[in-house]
Amino acid sequence: MYKILVRPLLFLLDPEKVHHLTFLMIRFFGKIGLSSLFKSLYVIEDKRLEREVFGLKFKNPVGLAAGFDKDAKLFNELSDFGFGFVEIGTLTPKPQDGNPKKRLFRLKVDQAIINRMGFNNMGVFDAVERLKKKHNVLIGGNIGKNKITPNDKAIKDYLICFDALFEYVDYFVVNVSSPNTPGLRELQDREPLTALLKELKKENVKMALKYNGSEKPILLKIAPDLTDNQLMDIIKIVKHTKIDGIIATNTTIAREGLKSLYIATEEKGGLSGKPLTKRNTEVIRFLAEKSNKAFPIIGVGGIHSAEDAIEKLEAGADLIQLYTGFIYEGPALIKKINKAILAE
């Protein structure tokens, strides 16, 4: 129904306007009690789907990637579509508008999206107010720095977000790989990245003591554009800092092999969707093999079918996440993936 009736209508509108319209619709459906209908259509309850990764128990291994529910507005409602976990953000200490519009582009021929949103969000403290309500799903907190914050002051921004979210999320994701904040990817270099992760590890211990609880898993989200040597550095940094895992990968700045019109493909920003499928799997496999599976990996990028999802898991991913595939294929994709996992 989604691909035949809903998607063609939504794709007639501007992508960013569709995003806001979709949120209004999902919220409305929740208020009139349609959540039970969505659950009956999309949720599979089966113990065989459960995964225990970095100390957390996931109902199933299919999550929603960061960027969709940036401000933690619909995490419970989105879980009704069958997601085993929802990642909010990227959140920054101060609210920011992000980059000027137009900043979101569909490449329908390629089943892809280019975005240069620029960490638009209402600020971490605004999100915290909504996160105080009961969660029906595991939540990841994806954190970043404000655009106006120079890289040599970036650690403070990440710590502010970490402290604010600590009590309300189940795991953290350190985003240093978005191509849409000037200079952000420089934080993936060995020295600044090691310093950042070490400070977050220290803060983790401090916050766990403050709340008389356990430390929260910390994951690093990396770009798909890293070379093999850079990926080897990432493996060494993860082992050295003893963080809990990697999310592979963010969007790409590459444009090879696209079939859409040149005017669309040359828009600045990060490319996501089907063109990322192969490279994403290569990065997952490289990390898993070269690290000897020393840490968990969440695979995200170019998952548009159950076969794509199984490929990521077989390459070494412990969990997977959807974003662009969710937009193109609809919520039925989550159920198809979970059914395929059960059939393995």
* Complete domains list, the chain, with CATH: 2-343 (3.20.20.70)
Half-sphere exposure in the Cβ direction for 11 (13 Å, CA): 18
Give the model's pLDDT for residue 30. Answer: 86
pLDDT at 194: 97
Show the tokens assigned to 155.
């650690």
Paired strand residues for 219? 173, 245
Q: What is the mean pLDDT of the chain?
A: 96
* pLDDT band at 212; cut points 50, 70, 90: very high
DSSP-assigned states of every residue in 265-284:
HTSSSEEEEGGGHHHHHHHH
More confident residue, 33 or 158: 158
Select which of 79, 178, 260, 291 is catalytic: 178
With CA atoms as reference, report the closest residue to 297 among 344, 231, 341, 228.
Answer: 231
Whether 261 has a pLDDT exceeding 90, the answer reads no
Q: Quick check: 1 pLDDT over 90?
A: no
Q: Assess whether 178 carries a catalytic annotation.
A: yes
pTM of the model: 0.97
Q: Tens digit of pLDDT for each residue in 53-110?
A: 999 999 999 999 999 999 999 999 999 999 999 999 999 999 999 999 999 999 999 9
- Segment 321-339 shows an average pLDDT of 98
The confidence score (pLDDT) of residue 262 equals 78
